[in-house]
Amino acid sequence: MKFFNLHTHKFTNNSDVLELVNQYPWEFDTTIPNYSIGIHPWYIERLPRELAMTRLESDLKIIDEKLQLKECLALGECGLDKRIEVPMQLQIEVFEKQIALAEKHQKPLVLHLVAAFQELIEIKNRLQISVPIIIHGFSKNQQVANELLKNGFYLSFGKYLLRNPELESVFKSVPNDKFFLETDTIDESLEEVYQLAAKYKNIDKNQLTEIITNNYNTVFGSSKNPII
């Protein structure tokens, strides 16, 4: 049975790991077998509006095309970030255009979220988003975790689980059917993340693998993209 890496920027070609490799429309690598594709809020073009909209429409067209392929498992990472200079209204506009594509193709969303959780919940409710939404790289406190779980989001853990011992109690509290594991950009292996997660959940790695497999099949669709 394979491990599943919910979000990584490093394709390792490890036969024991199904990797959801993050891709961008402007630098797409056709050799990567399974990927997500989206416009990260950090990389929204800050050009004069007319030029920016032309670039945006080009990127969205590529995303639309890739989402039709079975190799494209999700749209992302996309999202909102209050700690960058890109105006929030522009971020929301780009985010909502990507949400529309995810809904069109019924593919999950993998999100980058920084200090914009209430905005996300408002958008989810207003647009009545039906596809699964995963917050990658979760690092917040119990209150934020509870609010997101209550509103139907999945949480993915990786770097901060390894490096912040205070996240242990938050991770333990997340229901087994609501989390994923990832490496993102860290040098540590996915196996190290799995080992710590299993320790925190007080289960063995085989049980953890079964949990992640079930969550994968629920979110990404076992008939189209089986993990084994």
Contact at 8 Å (CB) between 178 and 219? no
Residues 6+ apart with CB under 8 A from 15: none
**Which CATH superfamily does the domain covering 3-221 fall into?**
Metal-dependent hydrolases (3.20.20.140)
Measure CA 213 to chain center. 16
Contact at 8 Å (CB) between 208 and 177? no
Round to whole Å and give the CA distance between 20 and 218. Answer: 16
3-state helix, strand, coil in the chain (%, to 5): 45, 20, 35
Q: Residue 45: is the preceding peptide bond cis (ω within 30°)?
A: no
Please count the CA atoms within 13 angstroms of the CA of 54 that sit on its side-chain side: 5
**81 to 12, 41, 42, 142, 166: CA distances (angstroms):** 28, 7, 8, 20, 23
pLDDT at residue 46, rounded to an integer: 67
**25 to 94, 120, 172: CA distances (angstroms):** 14, 23, 36
pLDDT at residue 32, rounded to an integer: 97
Q: How far apart are the first and last CA of the chain?
A: 6
Instruction: State the pTM of this model.
Output: 0.94
* Radius of gyration for the chain, computed over Cα atoms and rounded to the nearest angstrom: 17
136 is in an annotated binding site: yes
CA nearest to 39, candidates 11, 18, 60, 9: 60
pLDDT at residue 50, rounded to an integer: 67
pLDDT at residue 77, rounded to an integer: 97
Sign, CA torsion 153/99/71/21: negative
pLDDT at residue 223, rounded to an integer: 44
Round to whole Å and give the CA distance between 142 and 64. Answer: 36
Sign, CA torsion 68/69/74/75: negative
Q: What are phi and psi of 208, to 5 degrees?
A: -65, -40
Intervals of the chain under pLDDT 70: 1, 46-52, 222-228
184 is in an annotated binding site: yes
